[in-house]
Amino acid sequence: MYINVTTVINAGQHILIEGEDEDNPYVAKVIRLFGDESGKQKKAVVQWFVRVSEVPLSKLKLLGREPHPQEIFLYQGRSCDDEVNAESILRPVQVKGGSYWSFWTPLCLHSHSFFFFLFQQIPPGTPRTPRHATPSIPSRSLPARRPGNVLEEARARLHVSSVPESLPCREQEFQDVYSFVESKIVDGTGGCMYISGVPGTGKTATVHEVMRCLQHAADVDEIPPFHFIEINGMKMTDPHQAYVQILQNLTGQKATADHAAALLEKRFSSAAPRKETTVLLVDELDLLWTRKQNVMYNLFDWPTRRHARLVVLTIANTMDLPERIMINRVASRLGLTRMSFQPYSFKQLQQIIMSRLNKVKAFEEDALQLVSRKVAALSGDARRCLDICRRATEICEHSPADPFSTGLVGMSHVMEALNEMFSSAYITAIRCASLQEQLFLRAVIAEFRRLGLEEATFQQVFVQHRALCRVEGLQPVSVSEGLAACQRLGACRLLLLEPSRLGVLQRVRLNVSQDDVLFALKDD
Amino acid sequence: MSKRTAKDAHLPVGECVTQVQDILRQRLCHQRLPDKPEGVEAQHRHLLELLKRTAIHGESNSVLIVGPRGAGKTMLLKCVLRDLLEDKEAQKSLLQVHLNGLLQTDDRIALKEITRQLHLENVVGDKVFGSFAENLGFLLEALKKGDRSSSRPVLFILDEFDLFAHHKNQTLLYNLFDVSQSAQAPIAVVGITCRLDVLELLEKRVKSRFSHRQIHLLSSLTFTQYLERVRTQLSLPDGFPDSRFAQDWNDGVKTLCGDKSVEEVLQRHYNSSKDVRSLHMLLMLCLSRVSVAKPAIKPADLLEASRLCFADAKANMLHGLSILELCLIIAMKHLNDVYEGEPFNHQMVHNEFKKFLQRKSNSMYNFEQPVILKAFEHLQQLELIRPVDGSSAKTQREYQLMRLMLDHSQIMEALQKYPQCPTDVKQWAMSAFG
């Protein structure tokens, strides 16, 4: 039997309105009912309420008590529309107030004020999706302390994050990138450039500096205005997210990857009057590789369109990336405008530190030279250099006051920092291992010598281990004990082991050179 | 002693023993933090200074704590955090995010967890909204908006750090290190790992962004210090309600540590492993034998506990086998001796066993073939033997190649202790050739 139920709603009644899903209708009070211009569509102006589960946790804390799950609060935020379609109204409900707590007690809750009711007909459900959440880290009550003395000042300046206004030792590269991008902007054409170099050679910082200068030039009307967009392959979960991020940076629109690709395709291939040039920086390009390479293909294909006015700057670590991973049609679109950043030489590193310190006298000359020579010999990574200097200032600060010292960071401090950061801990680890573990390592080497191989099963090593125990006059070890020692060495990767399920059959290899082991064991 | 103590004590012995069990169990099983970390003062100071600079000056940092398992890495970090949070200013500003490589097995879960622990605005209740990509974008945007002096510093603690290096592209590590090296919200990334080669796991660009500070926790504990630690771990604190009992207990512990046989046992433990956790295990076994009837630890308890710790698992399993299974094991041992560790199958073992029966002309163990096959399969289930290759379906069971997963010393040892082992079986095992 079918019963047609008609619901009659009057102004002043409380109602349920269709929500995100069926289980969670919204609650509101009808203020006014009206029809729109055509008169067909019935609408209602409502006063919204929020349920406890919808109130942000931070605001809920201000309430100062545990709210009832069916309690509702008056909502006075301005972020949602007060008009609803009459069709979306589900049914009237009854709202009871004041039966548990004092009625109409105003509670000052941060920016909005909430009043509370007791609401009895809605079961508590899942919260509403936060749509307008703003990304932010809470701010601290007191501002961070300023650096107090010379060493602290030097440390703040030496932090990798305090990038200087202009990068020393990268003038030539700056000039090249600048003229490339400037010419494209002025001509209103597009193009690609590939920048490579090992990490820590100032690639991203240089491009950012170029962009800052061009922006300044555009502000004083020397060149036409342009957009600057930046994406980073490592900051995406999936190569196709590149489309989403580019679109969001260009227009503020949110879309799925496929839709964003289509929108961008349309935008870059159609002509539009007064179109601005877009400069796109793609960092960590190798992460955008997909099997079909369609992301890379699109990124390099768009600049070749007539109306695109797109300049793409790509950054990656390896010099031969286009030849290695790109198929021909992608590599050919990337073109031949390439630039490679050489690792810093020791003089350049020294100059970088000097310019960062900028007349703050905290280092001895020789100490600086030592750091830069060491780093240049190893990698030429400026980040490493700055980190070591920073560590050296810490060591200097905590070293006992020497009456003859100048209070500056000297050779000894820098040496200590270098040792800390560059030396491997294997030898110390072997020296600090327990006696049985050391014996096991000895047994491994003895067995390797006997076999002439670099690999042996645990069983073979264990025979040697027992023999060594006898020689040393210790109690014989059981297999479990020997295995435990072996596993401990395997866990800190002094040994490389097969899965431990294999028990005595697992094969053992050394992860350090035999000479290192012998050297470490010799002393005691 | 119990009579006199009971007369003078403020509390009955039962109460005291309960208290002792309570206090020591807290210390041994729940890893209660010591008031002052022992033997790692330099590392403690370094880490405390580093985190203090993050909390108070807003300097971004990254550091790895490396050391073998049971060396007190987490203890060190917790001690440092406890000391750091005594400072009011640090306590008010520092936000903490704890992650564990065993729980956050991929970046998606890790990101949700970070967002949840930071209470960012896309969190409602305990739920994080949005897709993986949106979450990452949201978190990075939030961190980017912050700056050194005004936003609250965030401390990221990554336990089992090496497992995070196995995530796809190491996206999470790259982003955390990148934030710590750029002018964004101040963060400190503290990784805890037991792998010494952890830096080799990192990708080049991730490694370049890491500050290469490593704090090594390698204990160079001497035996005297080890003994001292046993004493302090077992001693009762000053605040014990019954001072007379505590005095007696501590004296008892002191004489215990002075005992020659105890010293020998501890020396053996010290030789086998220096980590604190295995020591705690040993002491816990001793402690569990303390009762009202025997309110002190005797040297015999320690000997018994040490016997339990050093028991060989496989040899114990052999004690539980039947005579037939033991005979098969002996046959396998002979096969291993004759063919120098080449794999064998059931048929070969059976033949070897038959040779033994013929020689002894004793019909006692004259079992049918299926019975022997059953025994053989039982050994395989116990993983005392193991197929050479995993493909069990291809070959017939009788002809599948196997390897023995026991050492000869284990077999001989088990035979000595086997209850009522027949003499001829023992002799067969001793004889060099089957």
pLDDT for B186 equals: 92
Task: Give the strand pairing for A26-35 and A14-17.
Answer: antiparallel
| Angstrom distance (rounded) from CA B20 to CA B38 | 23
Cβ contacts of A323 within 8 Å, gap of 6 or more: A331
Nearest CA in chain B to A382: B208
Q: Does A172 touch chain B (CB under 8 A)?
A: no
- Cα torsion angle, A14, A15, A21, A22, sign: positive
Q: CB-based contacts of B351: which residues, under 8 Å, 6+ apart?
A: none
Burial of A501 (0-12, 13-18, 19+ CB in 10 A): exposed
**A53 touches B: beta carbon within 8 Å:** yes
CA pair distance B428, B424, nearest whole angstrom: 6
A198 interaction partners in chain B (CB closer than 8 Å): 204
Helices first, then strands: H and E counts in chain B:
22, 9
A34, pLDDT greater than 80: no
Residues from chain A that touch B207, judged by Cβ atoms under 8 A, are 199
Contact (CB<8Å) A477/B148: no
Question: In this structure, are residues A456 and A510 in contact, taking their beta carbons and an 8 Å threshold?
Answer: no
Report the residue of chain B nearest A440, measured CA to CA. B272
Residue B127, beta-bridge partner list: B124
Closest to B212 (Cβ–Cβ): which among A145, A387, A485? A387
Greater confidence, A6 or B275? B275
Interface residue of B112, B121, B200 to substitute, partner A, most A CBs within 10 Å: B121
How far apart are alpha carbons A430 and A495 in whole angstroms? Answer: 11
Q: What is the reported pLDDT for B295?
A: 87
Residues 366-395 of B with CB under 8 A from A: 383, 386
For chain B, say whether A319 makes contact (Cβ under 8 Å).
Answer: no
CA distance A143 to chain B (A): 5
**Alpha-carbon span A276 to B158, nearest angstrom:** 45
Q: Using a pLDDT cut of 70, give the percent of chain A over it.
A: 83
How close A456 gets to chain B, by Cα (Å)?
13
**Cβ–Cβ gap B212/A421 under 8 Å:** yes
**Integer Cα distance of A145 and A139 in angstroms:** 14
Phi-psi region of B320 (alpha: psi -120 to 50; beta: other; left: phi over 0): alpha
Return d(Cα B17, Cα B297) in angstroms, integer: 12
A348 token code pair: 């350049």
Strand A226-232 versus strand A277-283 pairing type: parallel
Q: What strands, in cross-sheet order, belong to the sheet with B154-159? A: B95-100, B154-159, B187-193, B61-66, B214-216
CA distance linking residue B434 with residue B355, whole number of Å: 8
Mean pLDDT of chain A: 83
DSSP string, A360-371: ---B-HHHHHHH
User: DSSP E strands: which ranges in B294-384?
Assistant: none
- Tell me the C-alpha distance between A385 and A353, whole Å: 8
Which amino acid belongs to residue A20?
Answer: E
pLDDT digits (tens, 9 = 90+) for A214-265: 999 999 999 999 999 999 999 999 999 999 999 999 998 889 999 999 999 9
Chain B residue whose CA is closest to A381: B208
Could you read off the pLDDT tens digit of each residue along chain B, which spans 434 residues? 444 444 444 678 888 899 899 999 998 988 888 888 888 899 999 999 999 999 988 899 999 999 999 888 999 999 999 999 999 988 988 999 999 999 999 999 999 999 999 888 777 777 777 788 888 888 988 888 888 888 899 999 999 999 999 999 999 999 999 999 988 899 999 999 999 999 999 999 999 999 999 999 988 889 999 999 999 999 998 888 888 889 999 999 999 999 999 999 999 999 999 888 899 999 999 999 999 898 889 999 999 999 999 888 888 899 999 999 999 999 999 999 999 889 999 999 999 998 888 877 666 778 888 999 999 999 999 999 998 876 666 778 888 899 999 988 889 888 888 888 888 888 888 886 54
User: B88 touching A, CB under 8 A?
Assistant: no
Using CA atoms in the order A228, A229, A230, A236, what is the torsion angle rounded to 10 degrees?
Answer: 180
- A chain contacts of residue B95, beta-carbon cutoff 8 Å: 137-138
Cβ contact B208–A429 (<8 Å):
no
Q: Residue B28 and residue A292: Cα distance in Å, rounded?
A: 57
What pLDDT, in 10s, does the model give residues A65-97? Answer: 667 666 777 766 555 667 777 777 777 776 665
Strands A191-197 and A338-341: parallel
Question: CB neighbours of B85 closer than 8 A, spacing ≥ 6?
Answer: B91, B94
Q: What is the pLDDT of residue A376?
A: 93
- Residue A62 binned pLDDT confidence (cut-offs 50, 70, 90): low
How far apart, in whole angstroms, are the C-alpha atoms of residue B161 and residue B171? 14
B152 touches chain A (CB under 8 A): yes
Task: Round to whole Å and give the CA distance between B46 and A395.
Answer: 9
pLDDT for A119 beyond 50: no
Scanning B331-370 for CB atoms below 8 A from A yields: none
Angle at B252 (CA atoms; ends B247, B254), nearest 5 degrees? 95
Which 3 state secondary structure label does DSSP give B267?
helix
Residue with tokens 């022997």: B372
Q: Which of A208, A195, A205 is nearest to A342 (CA)?
A: A195
Is residue A105 pLDDT above 50, yes or no? no
Q: Which of B133, B183, B405 sits opposite A236 (nearest CB)?
A: B133
With an 8 Å Cβ cutoff, is B166 touching chain A? no
Amino acid, single-letter form, for residue B317: M
Contact between chains at B273 and A479 (C-beta distance less than 8 A): no
Cross-chain CB nearest to B196 (options A140, A199, A493): A493
Partner residue opposite A491 with nearest CB, options B68, B313, B383: B68
* Residue among B241, B154, B164 nearest B198 (CA): B164
Joined tokens for residue B179: 């934030």
**What would the pLDDT profile of A123-163 be if each residue is shown by its tens digit?**
445 555 666 778 888 888 878 778 888 888 898 899 999 88
Q: Cα separation of B149 and B183, whole Å?
A: 10
